[in-house]
Chain A
Amino acid sequence: MAELRALVAVKRVIDYAVKIRVKPDKTGVVTDGVKHSMNPFCEIAVEEAVRLKEKKLVKEVIAVSCGPAQCQETIRTALAMGADRGIHVEVPPAEAERLGPLQVAQVLAKLAEKEKVDLVLLGKQAIDDDCNQTGQMTAGFLDWPQGTFASQVTLEGDKLKVEREIDGGLETLRLKLPAVVTTDLRLNEPRYATLPNIMKAKKKKIEVIKPGDLGVDLTSKLSVISVEDPPQRTAGVKVETTEDLVAKLKEIGRI
């Protein structure tokens, strides 16, 4: 039916179940030997793309990830879920730590144009930095419409109807393709990669390119000063009456 092509961006993050520990030098968190997996919202994005492909609305799904060599594991997971091929934008480990939404968005924008895709899908945010910026910036660079926090996506000809979860409730937008969509929790439940699909994914191609090949400069204007644990929760204080409560709150300067 449609000849649409989709680009799905996936990020390799520390697994959600892992207990995060801050490095003693406070430059970041411990990542060595720690379990990593695909960002849960990215999984939802891949799932949505694959479902569109199964409904024959999308012809090809390309999975892309920016970062060091291990990103290929994450791309493989996307391939095992049903993506057709992968692109690994290789960034050496030291530089990868300084990759932020601005840099990734530039890469995605360039790739979207190069691969001539009609739809760019991403998770709404990554569970490590919680930035919630990459999708929006990508749309900005491409000058494409965006539907963020999508909880439902429906293709209508050359338009995309996106239902968004916002603070006040649900908002429905109609976007002209090409467009950028970021996925929210309730959009779908991602499938489990099956062992036969993992085997088939071994045969799918992952192209490795450098950011320079896309003409993207990764220098960041941000630098991390320190990373620290949140302060330990101190015990609360019990009070007897409302008057006591007000007095206490005044005492500690809260009101």
Chain B
Amino acid sequence: MQAARIAPSLGRQLLRLGGGSSRPTALLGQPRPGPARRPYAGGAAQESKSFAVAMFKGQLTTDQVFPYPSVLNQEQTEFLKELVEPVSRFFEEVNDPAKNDTLEMVEETTLQGLKELGAFGLQVPSELGGVGLCNTQYARLVEIVGMHDLAVGITLGAHQSIGFKGILLFGTKAQKEKYLPKLASGETLAAFCLTEPSSGSDAASIRTSAVPSPCGKYYTLNGSKLWISNGGLADIFTVFAKTPVTDPATGAVKEKITAFVVERGFGGVTHGPPEKKMGIKASNTAEVFFDGVRVPSENVLGEVGSGFKVAMHILNNGRFGMAAALAGTMRGIITKAVDYATNRIQFGEKIHNFGLIQEKLARMVMLQYVTESMAYMVSANMDQGSTDFQIEAAISKIFGSEAAWKVTDECIQIMGGMGFMKEPGVERVLRDLRIFRIFEGTNDILRLFVALQGCMDKGKELSGLGSALKNPFGNAGLLLGEAGKQLRRRAGLGSGLSLSGIVHPELSRSGELAVQALEQFATVVEAKLIKHKKGIVNEQFLLQRLADGAIDLYAMVVVLSRASRSLSEGHHTAQHEKMLCDTWCIEAAARIREGMAALQSDPRQHELYRNFKSISKALVERGGVVTSNPLGF
């Protein structure tokens, strides 16, 4: 057993990430689910409509992915079109990203202009002073911001996408009416305070404490938060702290996280100087200190003790915005790359005539197309009311942040020395992009989450089967159905799944590739779960590879869906999109096939994992590179 002795709490925590948000809760004003869910016992359990959840089980649940969703009605579409113009003009004519970067702050006139523009309350209901946009409309505007200035994007996003999103999602009527109007106008700014010096990815280990007063009227908040965006500017903070919670049944007191709305005006709130960063320099990042801050009990956000769930919900809810912004960033960068390639002459030709450049440009636009398709699909699913989109949202964040980095890096490569210079502005974008793979859930943690959350339902199914095996007569139907499916899949005969009739006929070959990839993927998931059972939580080498497969698979389906719609609707770019889709699917299917084959049957996989572990151990013991250079000194 090669399970690394990482704190089992990591695995548990990752599973809690899912457990909290996959079930609709009363907090969100949604009905509670029916009787306790026992896998397949009676079939009354609420089946998830998420494509990602289903693909881990080898099923094709197309409700949320086919056809490519269109959620805006005519009024919403017309309204959105009217908004695009002024926002674009503002960013083209007023905002100066280079200046913001040099000053390491957003220019005052620009900030004021953004407030007047209404950019600080895009998703606040109009009755409370906001623009009242749905997620899809928000995605479109955030795309514009991402195209022009990511630092401003973070200032806006830290404020509304996470800073006060908790109030929108979990706030009481009183809290909403008290805080949202000034937040929407930008009169007060908000910040999301979770991270601490000793708690980053391990969010459950935060130490900031909120001790209830004996009279019950307030909590006393003590602690410090690190790297808080808008920390130096905000007046309203969503703060996560440990509070003592008494179990009503056992009387035991546990420390659980609670979310609070904290006003700077409560006293005791201070902040440090702005951090010097690699990128998004204009965005303010600071330490925030809470010293004996008295927070009224009415300012608890959600329920006492449910803070972890609140935090994960907030982050989950805002993720599509990141993918949308990054799709915009890539669109702008690709324009610059194409502009350069069509004008630069070397060796007597425009360089866009050279194969190396052509491949770069093609790969860049495929990454942009996938990211954009994911962003708008997730936002549409959210607008359609689906509550089970967390895996897809996480995938879109991982994919978008890595795609944007690759695209911008490649743009610099195409531009050669020019790309490295400050003036064209591409190097600034690259520096701005680096943080996107780190914050709001590092891509590494999110990969583990995608794999584990995806496996969770499948794991339950398998344990259901396990208990069915103990009582074969009572569960014959279950066994027949499942056993048949598993047998067919393991024999490589395919599970009878097909996308024909769902994808456009011109994409049928790519559709088949996707289905085959899904079957290969699910077969490996099942095999590994049977082998490791709950221990899979510690198999990070495996989980990472499963996540990569899941990401590629979701990406294939998303572009199949979008390209199908374009073909069906006769868009003038439909043939180009078909090419993008087919090209992507060919390579993604190959990656999945090879990846899953390696996981399934390559005897050297275990040797690889053992070696990674040993090499790492040696480095740790040595404190660095173990070998000296070839000279020996």
Residues on A facing B (Cβ under 8 Å) = 37, 73, 76-77, 80, 192-196, 198-199, 202
Contacts and interface: CB of A to CB of B under 8 A. Distances in A.
A10 to B, nearest CB: 14
Nearest to A200: B126
B116 A194 contact: yes
Nearest to B85: A37
A196 B85 contact: no
B82 A73 contact: yes
User: How many interface residues does chain B have, given as a range?
Assistant: 20 to 34
B117 interface: yes
29 contacts: A37-B85, A73-B82, A76-B82, A77-B82, A80-B82, A192-B89, A192-B113, A192-B116, A192-B117, A193-B82, A193-B85, A194-B86, A194-B116, A194-B117, A194-B118, A195-B83, A195-B87, A195-B117, A195-B119, A195-B131, A196-B129, A196-B131, A198-B82, A198-B83, A198-B86, A199-B79, A199-B118, A199-B126, A199-B131
B113 A195 contact: no
Interface string B72-92: 000000010111011101100
A194 B118 CA distance: 6
Given A192-B116, A194-B117, 9 more contacts: A76-B82, A80-B82, A80-B86, A193-B82, A195-B87, A195-B131, A198-B82, A199-B118, A199-B131
Nearest first, the 3 closest Cβ-Cβ pairs linking A and B are: A195-B118, A196-B118, A193-B86
Interface in B109-123: 113, 116-119, 122
B242 to A, nearest CB: 39
Contacts of A77: 82, 85
A37 B129 CA distance: 28
Contacts of B90: 192
Contacts of A73: 81-82
A190 B39 CA distance: 63
B82 A192 contact: no
Contacts of B94: 192
Contacts of B79: 198-199, 202
Nearest to B132: A199
Name the residue among B79, B86, B89, B119 with the largest chain A CB count within 10 angstroms. B86
A195 B138 CA distance: 12
Nearest to B79: A202
A199 B126 CA distance: 9
Nearest to A72: B78
Contacts of A194: 86, 116-118
Nearest to B120: A195
A77 B129 CA distance: 20
Interface string B144-178: 00000000000000000000000000000000000
A122 B180 CA distance: 40
Contacts of A202: 79
A37 B89 CA distance: 12
Contacts of B87: 195
A77 B84 CA distance: 12
Nearest to B89: A192
Contacts of B131: 195-196, 199
A41 to B, nearest CB: 17
Contacts of A76: 82
B174 to A, nearest CB: 24
A194 B87 CA distance: 8
Name the residue among B82, B83, B90, B118 with the largest chain A CB count within 10 angstroms. B82
Nearest to A80: B82
Contacts of A192: 86, 89-90, 94, 113, 116-117
Nearest to B75: A202
A192 B92 CA distance: 12
Interface string B22-34: 0000000000000
Interface in B59-110: 79, 81-83, 85-87, 89-90, 94
A31 to B, nearest CB: 16
A155 to B, nearest CB: 27
A76 B83 CA distance: 11
B566 to A, nearest CB: 15
Nearest to A37: B85
Nearest to B87: A195
Contacts of A195: 83, 86-87, 117-119, 122, 131
A198 B122 CA distance: 13
A127 B87 CA distance: 23
Contacts of B116: 192, 194
Name the residue among A37, A195, A202 with the largest chain B CB count within 10 angstroms. A195
A196 B85 CA distance: 14
A76 B78 CA distance: 11
A58 B165 CA distance: 42
B144 to A, nearest CB: 12
Contacts of B113: 192
A84 B113 CA distance: 23
Name the residue among A76, A196, A202 with the largest chain B CB count within 10 angstroms. A196
Name the residue among B113, B122, B131 with the largest chain A CB count within 10 angstroms. B131
Nearest to A76: B82
A192 B114 CA distance: 11
A80 B86 CA distance: 10
A88 to B, nearest CB: 15
Nearest to B115: A194
A69 to B, nearest CB: 12
Nearest to B572: A33
A132 B82 CA distance: 28
A198 B118 CA distance: 10
A37 B88 CA distance: 13
Name the residue among A73, A77, A198 with the largest chain B CB count within 10 angstroms. A198
A76 B81 CA distance: 12
Contacts of B129: 196
B587 to A, nearest CB: 32
Contacts of B89: 192
A194 B117 CA distance: 4
Contacts of A80: 82, 86
Contacts of B132: 199
Nearest to B92: A17
Nearest to B78: A73
Interface string B492-525: 0000000000000000000000000000000000
Contacts of A198: 79, 82-83, 86
A194 B86 CA distance: 7
Nearest to A197: B118
Contacts of B86: 80, 192-195, 198
A202 B90 CA distance: 21
B160 to A, nearest CB: 13
Nearest to A195: B118
Contacts of A193: 82, 85-86
Contacts of B126: 199
A80 B94 CA distance: 19
